[in-house]
Amino acid sequence: MHLDAIIIEDEIKGRDTLRNMLARFCPEVNVIGEALTVKQGVELIEKKTPDIIFLDIELPEKNGFTLLDYYPSPDFDIIFTTAYDQFAVQAFRISAIDYLLKPINFKELIQAVDKVKSKKNISQKQDRFQSLSHNIKTETFDKIALPVANGYLFVEIPDIVFCEADRNYTVFNLKNGKKQVVSKPLKYFEDLLCNLYFFRINRSVIINLYFLKSYSRSRTGEVILKNDKIFTLSEQKKKRFLERINL
């Protein structure tokens, strides 16, 4: 499958490195243009109609995210590139958006291109980009994109009461009493949610601290949620848990 690509990156070394890696590891990708700014990138996109954009976040004048203001529902794929930025990476993962960390790893580059080729990232693409744009502009995380059989399900993060491990799956228990099974392990969501107001209280459970009703200092260390669900707090987690709830 042939893909026409545009690289939007202001550093010469960055453009050269990515172009050379694509030529070596992804020969099906043809770089048809390069731009240094979002404005130049928009002009190129209008002229060239690419299949895929490799978009750096750290750009002069306007950062790469502002491209979404011009194309809130793009008909091309976007793979963001960035040096490590904790907030940006969390925003990508929360919204299920493809990204590459610099220095770019060739295996991750191949995987990202393969996803574009296989069309695995098409489902609810508009919703995912809108979610990303909202997260970046407000610097908040309101929704999480959960991978399900037919694409992605967007769930309001404040509606998540707790997440529970079920082997290599995670069961999301929501405020309305519904459950959603997701084919990713609990560790994946620990990395995403515990930077927010969530806490992994033991090997199997992550709770939303907003739904915490009470905590018993008994030997078993019972954690009780507002829906009267009771869990045991791991001894190893106790000190950090008390710090999080300011006790």
Better pLDDT: 107 or 191: 107
Q: How confident is the model at residue 44 (pLDDT cuts 50, 70, 90)?
A: very high
Q: Give me the DSSP letters along 117-134.
A: HHTTT-TTHHHHHHHHHH
Parse the chain into domains and list their residue ranges: 3-137, 159-244
- Does residue 218 carry a pLDDT above 80? no
Same fold, 3-137 and 159-244: no
Count helices and strands in the chain by DSSP H and E runs: 8, 15
Q: Which residues contact 151 (CB under 8 A, 6 or more apart)?
A: 123, 124
- Does residue 217 carry a pLDDT above 90? no
Work out the mean pLDDT of the chain and round it to a whole number: 91
| pTM, full prediction | 0.83
Residue 128 β-bridge partners: none
Q: How confident is the model at residue 81, as a pLDDT?
A: 95
- Does residue 240 carry a pLDDT above 70? yes
Q: How confident is the model at residue 104, as a pLDDT?
A: 95
Distance, CA of 117 to CA of 20 (rounded, Å): 19
Q: How confident is the model at residue 78, as a pLDDT?
A: 94
Q: What is the mean pLDDT of residues 88-93?
A: 90
The CATH code of domain 159-244 reads: 2.40.50.1020
The CATH superfamily holding the domain 3-137 is: Response regulator (3.40.50.2300)
pLDDT tens figures, 32-43 = 999 999 999 999
pLDDT tens figures, 48-64 = 999 999 999 999 989 99
